[in-house]
Amino acid sequence: MKFIHVGDTHIGQVYKNDTRNNDIKNAFTQMIDYAISEKIDFIVHSGDLFDSGTPPLESLLFVTDELNRLKFAGIPLFVIPGSHDVGIGEEESIIELFHKNNLLTNLNSKKYLKLGEEVKLKGETYKEAFICGIKGKRSKVEDEIFKKLKIDIDNSAFIKIFAFHHTISYLGEKFKDLDTESLPKGFDYYAAGHWHGHKENIEYDRGIIQYPGSLEYCDEKEIVDNPNRGFFVIAYDQNGINSIEYKIIKTRNKQIFGINSDNKKPLDIENEIINKLSKNDGDILVLKLDGKLDGKTSEINLVKIKKIGYELGYSYISINKSKLSDKDTDIQEDDIKTKELSTIEYEFLKKKGYNEKEIKIARYLIDSLGEKPDEIKKELEAIFYSYDNIKD
Ligand SMILES: [Mn+2]
């Protein structure tokens, strides 16, 4: 018997780029095609099926079609809602809509999860596998769940699977949102999601924790950091897990260039970049600029670079300037000692070429961290209107 473990498929509008959003859908289709052609017994999804708790209609229709193909092939899909599958301020997840339409099993539907003094969790036994899981974090409650968890495990199953949607402390204290030790014990396979990197074979209790990572690259960092994207195929029998394979899906060609700008003029950088570009068939292009430019960073004509790039055939172009600086924008050490923080902020943004309105918004946002969304919205509207008649 075989099952697929996939996670973080993020169907929706991850990019402001139709081609890349279609790539994300295409990755999902590749996984489903594989499940059907290889006669996989079932699929476990470890959360973030959608990119948003309120996905566009077009995404809902796409997923409905794909899940109907699975249903027709007799392959059940077991899902825990991820942090992205729940709308802001919502209790219920978009996953529940598909559960109610019998296109998947929401492992945290009322039937399986009961909150209270004790958190009672049930699962399903399918093809001699016991499957259960806990949804991702949208509120602090999900942290508490792990401390009070009582799981009704089917001990007669050949393999016991626990799905969860957290970054565990094993991966580093800095980004963790769950201590590894908080995970329940007694499982053979921990189907992990939320962290978009890829990690295999983390030993825990009597089993292993596996992160497949996002099924397609969800941002520039993932494009740069990860060579492959894919899902796990796990074979098991009465003796437990037999084999685990990482199935790599087909993604676009990537071209990643690092460009050092030390003592170069903006126009030189522009030409250097343009010279690197070549005719291609829909490649992804990432340009990482660093160093200290002899001139203003805003003088590099990014619009022109992108226009030429798209004409040459690139499907998606990301230009990263976060490590690029120019001679004017460095904050002087003396400034830190003698000036108010707000003055340093103002002068820095001014040198970066932002106008008064943009600076006011930026500084307001820095100051308003922690305020209520409604109040932030009101204040931002006021700033927008008050600057309407001022020329940039
Ligand atoms: Mn995710």
pLDDT in tens, 316-336: 999 999 899 886 666 655 666
Examine the pLDDT at 258 and tell me if it is beyond 60. yes
Residue type, 56: P
CA distances from 294 to 246, 288, 301, 320, 348 (A): 47, 17, 15, 18, 17
pLDDT surpasses 80 at 149: yes
Distance 215 CA to ligand 1 centre (A): 10
Please count the CA atoms within 13 angstroms of the CA of 132 that sit on its side-chain side: 26
Ligand 1 centre and the CA of 102: distance in Å?
A: 24
Residue 86 has pLDDT above 50, yes or no: yes
- Output the CA 166–ligand 1 centroid distance in Å: 9
Asked if pLDDT for residue 204 goes beyond 90, the answer is yes
> What percent of the chain stands above pLDDT 90?
74
Note the CATH number of domain 2-248. 3.60.21.10
Q: Domain residues of the chain, as ranges?
A: 2-248, 252-328, 331-392
Mean pLDDT of 241-270: 96
Cα of 184 from ligand 1 centre, angstroms: 22
Position 3 pLDDT exceeds 70: yes
How many whole angstroms separate alpha carbon 40 and alpha carbon 75?
A: 7
Residue 210, strand partner residues:
191
Distance 94 CA to ligand 1 centre (A): 15
297: phi then psi, degrees, rounded to nearest 5: -60, -30
Which residues, 6+ apart, have CB-to-CB distance to 338 below 8 Å?
none
Long-range contacts of 148-155 (CB under 8 A, 24+ apart): 148/117, 148/118, 148/119, 149/119, 149/121, 149/184, 150/118, 150/119, 150/120, 150/121, 151/121, 151/122, 151/123, 151/184, 151/186, 152/120, 152/121, 152/122, 152/123, 153/123, 153/186, 154/123, 154/125, 154/130
Mean per-residue pLDDT of the chain? 91
Q: How far is the CA of 13 from the centre of ligand 1 (A)?
A: 13
pLDDT at site 391 = 39
Q: How far is the CA of 334 from the centre of ligand 1 (A)?
A: 42
d(C-alpha 273, C-alpha 285), whole Å: 11
d(CA 227, CA 379): 43
Contact 164, 193 (CB under 8 A): yes
Q: How far is the CA of 218 from the centre of ligand 1 (A)?
A: 8
CB-based contact 228:201 (threshold 8 Å)? no
Distance between Cα 326 and ligand 1 center (Å): 35
Structure-token pair, residue 31: 């996984």
| Cβ-proximal residues to 151 (8 Å cutoff; 6+ apart), any chain | 121, 122, 123, 132, 184, 186
Ligand 1 centroid to Cα of residue 235, in Å, is 25
Kindly give the distance from the C-alpha atom of residue 20 to the centroid of ligand 1, in angstroms, as a whole number.
16
* Cβ 345 vs Cβ 363: under 8 Å: yes
Q: What is the pLDDT of residues 175-185, one digit of tens each?
A: 888 999 999 99
Could you give the C-alpha distances from 149 to 71, 119, 143, 231, 244, in angstroms and in order? 31, 5, 11, 28, 28
CA distance 6 to 166: 14
Task: Provide the whole-model pTM.
Answer: 0.84
